[in-house]
Structure 1
């Protein structure tokens, strides 16, 4: 597994900042913001760098750029089920959280477009994490705001669709084509067949999709054995010979 602070596509100047004292320098926020935009354009994701930017925002609230934050969260959705979204969300101001606990936070959440955006993205994250894929797509398509929030992320739907397919492939060896169409939001049998063949490497078998065996979906028998020695019952046996008080 790749270390959390590593990213193969990270530019050298970003790596230098992250490994030096400049990562706490407010002047580097613009550099990190440009890097977020680069990730959106080239379909990469650097969680460690994005968290560093959100930490700078936490220390310097006046520097916070709502569009950059929502782009970070939208990018984090494309790498589920990693904890990236939750980690990013935890660094945002309290009043932006999905369930504000104080009256002040609740009042702020009712008046801020930024808070509404964060909470809508949190809703999408919850649906993905709970494997409610059909509901995820219907929610994503239900409001133009979702389209605005993900517009800067190149290939957002495709990236999420691939992640869903990966999770499905860990669970199933055979799945009804109709169900998979809904989970992937791929309409039409021809489009579905092309996706599962070209992207997933799966086979179409009539109305079913066959997933090759892998280490996650393979049925394996597990034999458990327990060693029970007499010494483990020593106390019980000893009590049997003790005189009642």
Structure 2
């Protein structure tokens, strides 16, 4: 497993900041913000660097850039089911949380476009984490705000489809093509066949899609045996012959 603080595509100057005291320097926020933009454009993701930026926002609320924060959250969606989204969400101000607890937080959540954006993205995360893929796509397509929120992230829908396919491949050996079309939001059998064969290396067999065996979806029999000696029950047997007092 790759270490949480590692990223193969991380530039050297970002790595130097993360491994030094400058990661706590408010002046580095602009550098991290530019790096988030780079991740969005190049389809990369550096959770550790993004968390460092959100931590700087936490210490310096006046520097917070709503567009950058939402871009970080959208990028985190593309790597589900990792805990990236939850970790990022935990560093945001309390009034942005999906379920504000104080009256002040509730009042703020009713008046802020930024809070609405965070909570909408949180809803998408919940749908993905609970494997409600069809509902995820219908929700994503139901509001123009979602299109605005994901516009800066290159290949967002494609990245989500790949992640869904990975999770499906862990759970199934055979999937109905009709169900897979809904889970991946792919319209038409030809488009579905192109995706599953070229991207997933799966096979379409009529109305079914065959998923190759892997360590997650392969059925394995498990035989458990226990050796229990009579001496282990000696006390129980003796108590059975004892006369009540």
TM-score normalised to the size of structure 2?
A: 0.98
Task: Give matches, 1:29-108, under 5 Å.
Answer: 29-108=29-108
Structure-2 residue corresponding to 1:114: 114
SS in 2 for 1:40: helix
State how far apart, in whole Å, the 2-side matches of 1:35 and 1:25 are: 16
Structure-2 residue corresponding to 1:151: 151
Task: Give the Å deviation of 1:25.
Answer: 0.8
Structure-2 residue corresponding to 1:11: 11
CA RMSD between the two structures: 1.0
Task: Give the Å deviation of 1:237.
Answer: 2.7
Task: Give the Å deviation of 1:102.
Answer: 1.0
Task: Give the Å deviation of 1:231.
Answer: 3.7
SS in 2 for 1:214: coil
State how far apart, in whole Å, the 1-side matches of 2:231 and 2:84 are: 49
State how far apart, in whole Å, the 1-side matches of 2:132 and 2:76 are: 17
Q: Encode CA deviations 1:208-241: one digit per residue, 9 max, x unaligned.
A: 1111111111111000112323343233234234
Gaps of 5+ in 1: none
SS in 2 for 1:5: coil
State how far apart, in whole Å, the 2-side matches of 1:90 and 1:132 are: 23
Q: 2:233 matched to 1:233?
A: yes
Structure-2 residue corresponding to 1:192: 192
Aligned length: 245
State how far apart, in whole Å, the 1-side matches of 2:189 and 2:118 are: 35
Q: Encode CA deviations 1:121-171: one digit per residue, 9 max, x unaligned.
A: 000000000000000000000000000000000000000000000001111
Q: Encode CA deviations 1:5-56: one digit per residue, 9 max, x unaligned.
A: 0000000010011111111111111110000000000000000000011111
SS in 2 for 1:200: coil
State how far apart, in whole Å, the 2-side matches of 1:63 and 1:207 are: 53
SS in 2 for 1:81: coil
State how far apart, in whole Å, the 1-side matches of 2:210 and 2:154 are: 30
SS in 1 for 2:199: helix
Task: Give the Å deviation of 1:242.
Answer: 3.8
SS in 2 for 1:44: coil
